[in-house]
Amino acid sequence: MGAMEKSDNSPSLEQMLKVGEALPTDIYARNGLLLLKKGHYVLNEKQRNRLVSMGVTQPAGPVPPMDNDLARIDDFSPFEEVQHASRHLDFLLGAGLSADGFEQRVRALANRLTAFTLRAPDGMLAAVLLVPMGKYAAAHSIHVAIILAVLAEKLELPAEVRASLLCAALTMNLSIAALMDSLHHQSSPLSDEQRQQIEGHPLLSSAMLRELGVHDEMWHLLVQTHHEQWNGKGYPYGLNREHIESLSHLLHIADVTAAKLAPRGYRAALKPNKALAHVFLEADRSFDYRFTALLVKELGIYPPGCFVQLANHEMGVVLQRRSRANEPCVAVLRSNSGSSYNKPQLREANSSQYKILQALDQQQIGVRPQYLASLWKRLRTSATLIR
């Protein structure tokens, strides 16, 4: 049977492709060009129709070996994964109560984010900082979930608990996704109506989840209490610290951290070291010291994706974390004269000449994130390399 042929009982592309669902197979153009890999999502009817009209499930010529992207990361791009995850979550949040199989889709997305974050944590954390945001609500929740996947691994949370935690992160703003997207570009104070919507969203999001068939009580508890604060001034219940579930507090810290790391439509993002310092300095006042210490230890003072200047005045981007939070591996992009290197040069910040002097803005280093994506595409996780 030829590469372009299929058996009579094989499903057609039109039957296989469904809006809002992951691709069950790689899709190729008829000239052999890979259009979309297995596991990526069909985002809308227009994209589905285009894939049906243009695509085939096998390329012309010899068929390449099947590649299980959860078993290998040779072709895994954290930047692409975060982009696709954000688009898929935006679809689910936008569908609201009309989404079919909502819980299963959210759990599948949480599992996928966990799997890839455990395989390439530095790349996924770099994507949080470097991948341009599409819709804020979805992107923010994806960022929170990635941070939690890193922390949950170190806390050795049971798989079931970790799944509830990440699912809560993905859906905590279900009822106000559109409002969050709008507020992302709003510099004026909240209106009374907007404030009421925000203060009510934990309970309303939980209610929507019940309507969508979610019966995981830990998931609901985390969504309902992710804005409770240690000083008792949180909402919707105004709980004091002794009454706040520890995982709700962990979700709250990740939520606050991700918000500080993200730009707004009217302002730049905080430099990562400053954002993390703001959180760390609130330890034992607003946040549990155990969690803030873990956050800084695992993300690093200069997380992957952070632009930095070294003691020798070279400039680059943090590539990998090391055992010390302030001594990561840096991929240097510009010399001390400001000229670009043909290829990134690796520097270890534990050396005095390569000590990090300061964090930089992207504009100061003048490099597009798309150019940097390849730095993490083939970066393998290794205990000897990272820790």
**CATH code: domain of residue 185:** 1.10.3210.10
Is residue 73, in this structure, part of any structural domain at all? no
Residue pair 365/315 in contact (Cβ under 8 Å)? The answer is: yes
Is residue 136, in this structure, part of any structural domain at all? yes
Question: What pLDDT is stored for residue 30 in this prediction?
Answer: 56
Tell me whether residue 299 is exposed, middle or buried, using C-beta atoms within 10 angstroms of its C-beta: 0 to 12, 13 to 18, 19 or more. Answer: buried
Mean pLDDT of 97-120: 93
pLDDT-derived band at 339 (thresholds 50, 70, 90) equals: very high
Question: In this predicted structure, which of 40-44, 49-53, 182-186, 373-377 has the lowest mean pLDDT?
Answer: 40-44
- Which residue has better confidence, 315 or 64? 315
222/318 same-domain check: no
Question: What pLDDT is stored for residue 15 in this prediction?
Answer: 80
When the pLDDT of each residue in the chain is averaged and rounded to a whole number, the result is: 86
Domain count for the chain, please give it: 3
371/265 same-domain check: no
Which residues share a beta bridge with 360? 307
Is residue 163, in this structure, part of any structural domain at all? yes
pLDDT value at 295 more than 60: yes
159/265 same-domain check: yes
Question: What pLDDT is stored for residue 322 in this prediction?
Answer: 96
Provide the residue range defining the domain that includes 116.
78-299
231/155 same-domain check: yes
Question: What pLDDT is stored for residue 179 in this prediction?
Answer: 96
- Which residue has better confidence, 166 or 268? 166
Is residue 255, in this structure, part of any structural domain at all? yes
Is residue 70, in this structure, part of any structural domain at all? no
pLDDT value at 348 more than 80: yes
Domain termination site, one of 239, 271, 299: 299
φ, ψ (nearest 5 deg) of residue 302: -120, 95
Question: In this predicted structure, which of 2-16, 56-70, 258-272, 319-333 has the lowest mean pLDDT?
Answer: 56-70
198/269 same-domain check: yes
Is residue 71, in this structure, part of any structural domain at all? no
Is residue 159, in this structure, part of any structural domain at all? yes
Tell me whether residue 12 is exposed, middle or buried, using C-beta atoms within 10 angstroms of its C-beta: 0 to 12, 13 to 18, 19 or more. Answer: exposed
pLDDT value at 380 more than 60: no
